[in-house]
Amino acid sequence: MNGPHDLGGQMGFGPVAPEKDEPYFHAEWEKTALGLTLSCGAFGAWTIDESRHAREAIPPAQYYSASYYEIWIRALETLLERHGFVTAQEIQAGQAQQRAATPKRVLKAEMVSEVLARGGPCDRAIHREPLYAVGDIVRTKNFNPETHTRLPRYARAKIGRVETVQGSFVFPDDNAHGRGENPQWVYTVVFSGPELWGEGADPTLSVSIDAWESYLEPV
């Protein structure tokens, strides 16, 4: 999706200014936002890919005016309503008004450390060899889906070199929309600055991305 989240190469947003000794949270409510997102994600009603798509589908004016955790909460409201855990009226009222869907799992306080340590591995075995090998020259495909994709706009229809075969992983473009995990091989592909940014780009610059196999074609 070419949403407001996809800022690679976009101009007019000013310099990136990292905050020295930046705290994990800038306000107490952000801790609650993180906790809510993780505990609701444990319901088992949606995948991490669907949650990413919910964030990138926020209208640009709202996305750009929101802070990091505000984006998380707005996306969480969408997911909870979509899967029957809450209604828009209940969100507005701040209280339950009807019986909600039953979660598959409930994350309890004593489970948090173990669940976070375990994470959510998305590597999956597939029974075929990768199409590409280290050193192969490939071109990324040129597409602009309205659905979720992990191939950024700035790296589409660009020529690069396979640096690493990372393994096989869940294909997010399908998994975000309930079409199954459909794992694919993933490759680290390296591009030169001029290939990505064109004339005037720093010739010493290189950028690498992790690309699913269906994003690529041979050159």
Domain boundaries, the chain: 28-118, 137-218
By percentage, how much of the chain surpasses pLDDT 90? 92
Find residue 217's DSSP bridge partners: 139
Residue 18: pLDDT band (50, 70, 90) is: very high
Range with the lowest mean pLDDT among 14-18, 166-170, 173-177, 193-197? Answer: 14-18
Question: Mean of the per-residue pLDDT values for the chain?
Answer: 95
DSSP state of 139: E
Range with the lowest mean pLDDT among 8-22, 76-90, 163-177? Answer: 8-22
Contact 167, 193 (CB under 8 A): no
Q: Which CATH class is domain 28-118?
A: mainly alpha
Other CB atoms within a 10 A radius of the CB of residue 42 amount to 17
Edge-to-edge order in the sheet of strand 216-218: 206-212, 184-192, 159-169, 137-140, 216-218
Distance CA 130, CA 186 (A): 9
Q: For residue 15, is pLDDT > 90?
A: no
By percentage, how much of the chain surpasses pLDDT 70? 100
| Residue range 96-115: mean pLDDT, rounded | 93
For residue 161, which phi and psi values (nearest 5 degrees)? -120, 135
176, two tokens: 């975000």
Tens of pLDDT, residues 174-217: 999 999 999 999 999 999 999 999 999 999 999 999 999 999 99
Question: Which residues, 6 or more positions from 142, have their beta carbon under 8 angstroms from its beta carbon?
Answer: 156, 157
DSSP state of 123: B
Q: For residue 16, is pLDDT > 90?
A: no
Q: Structurally, what CATH architecture does the domain formed by 137-218 represent?
A: Roll (2.30)
User: Does the predicted TM-score (pTM) go above 0.85?
Assistant: yes
H or E segment to which residue 32 belongs:
helix 28-41
Residue 10: pLDDT band (50, 70, 90) is: confident
Residue 108: pLDDT band (50, 70, 90) is: very high
Tokens 């690069």 belong to which residue? 160
Work out whether the CA dihedral 210, 172, 103, 69 comes out positive or negative: positive
